[in-house]
A = this chain, B = another copy of it.
Amino acid sequence: MGKTVSDELRHEVLRANLRIPEAGLATLTWGNVSGVDRDAGVFVIKPSGVSYDVLGEEHLVVVALEDGRVVEGDLRPSTDTETHRSLYRAFPSIGGITHTHSTHAVAFAQACRSIPVLGTTHADTFNGPVPVTAALTAQQCAEDYEYNTGQVIVDLLGGDDARAREVPGALVAHHGPFTWGADATKSLEHAVVCEAVAEMALHTLALGTVVPPQHLLDRHFTRKHGPGAYYGNPGRV
């Protein structure tokens, strides 16, 4: 069997996974990032239960988008693999997905509360609250549990790819955050922001919240996203 994905994708997925512990979002082996190659019809994902200390490119697993078959790799993929596959199939613009059990985002998920938009830090990345799904039913848990975990996110967004681009993350009720983006790196960065705004929101709720004006939030989202964006130096550093 020849190589199914480029060295670049493999390298990017490894790097994004290693940024989970670097960003303080990991406990033990928890968390995983994947990146997709739409043309090849596969995605690359972290193996299940492997310590970040020893994780190398050779441990990554390549999985078919079509049926979830392992196409390349010696190890079992992350138990969350089917959740990733479900999201890739529903949202064509997604190029990478990150799942963590980061502390404050999990707290909102466990409280079945969306992370509200309380300021520009949030609006810079998420054009609206980070929403929380319905709880999975007994039937959704009994069969294809992990695939259904993705489906409750798909249902939450009405399967709308445009919404997935505007708010690149969601909380699965009683569980934790999934974030996504144009590629694996972006999905990881959205996981970092999701945790940061969750922590800020928790503290803000303790102080008493004030609804920010929509024109301020819009300004922040549009200066970083869309045709009028003027943030950053993309491709130059």
The interface-forming segment of A9-17, A35-43, A161-169, A200-208 is A200-208
Residues of B within 8 A of A104 (CB): 203
**Contact yes or no, B75 A174, CB < 8 A:** no
Residues of B within 8 A of A204 (CB): 106-107, 110-111
**Contact yes or no, A205 B202, CB < 8 A:** no
Cβ 8 A contact of A209, one of B50, B110, B145, B175: B110
Tell me the A42-70 residues at the B interface (CB within 8 Å). Answer: 47-51, 54, 59
Residues of B within 8 A of A200 (CB): 103, 106-107, 110
CB of A109 closer than 8 Å to a CB of B: yes
**Contact yes or no, B208 A27, CB < 8 A:** no
CB of A93 closer than 8 Å to a CB of B: no
Closest to A210 in B: B112
Tell me the A154-211 residues at the B interface (CB within 8 Å). Answer: 173-176, 189, 192-193, 196, 199-210
Chain B proximity mask over A212-237: 1 for CB below 8 Å, otherwise 0: 11011011000100000011111011
**Contact yes or no, A101 B76, CB < 8 A:** no
Q: What is the copy number of this chain in the assembly?
A: 4
**Contact yes or no, A210 B111, CB < 8 A:** yes
Cβ 8 A contact of A203, one of B107, B218, B232: B107
Closest Cβ–Cβ distance, residue A176 to chain B (whole Å): 7
**Contact yes or no, A110 B103, CB < 8 A:** no
CB of A138 closer than 8 Å to a CB of B: yes
Closest Cβ–Cβ distance, residue A110 to chain B (whole Å): 4
**Contact yes or no, B174 A210, CB < 8 A:** yes
**Contact yes or no, A174 B213, CB < 8 A:** yes
- Chosen A-B contacts, 14 in total, with CB atoms closer than 8 Å, are A49-B234, A79-B230, A79-B231, A106-B200, A107-B203, A110-B201, A110-B207, A110-B209, A112-B210, A119-B175, A120-B176, A136-B213, A142-B219, A202-B207
Give the B-binding residues of A (Cβ under 8 A): 27-30, 47-51, 54, 59, 74-76, 79, 101, 103-104, 106-113, 118-121, 135-136, 138, 141-142, 145, 173-176, 189, 192-193, 196, 199-210, 212-213, 215-216, 218-219, 223, 230-234, 236-237
> Beyond A119-B175, A120-B176: 15 further Cβ-contacts under 8 Å?
A28-B192, A47-B237, A76-B233, A79-B230, A103-B203, A109-B119, A111-B204, A113-B207, A119-B176, A120-B175, A135-B212, A138-B213, A141-B215, A202-B203, A205-B206
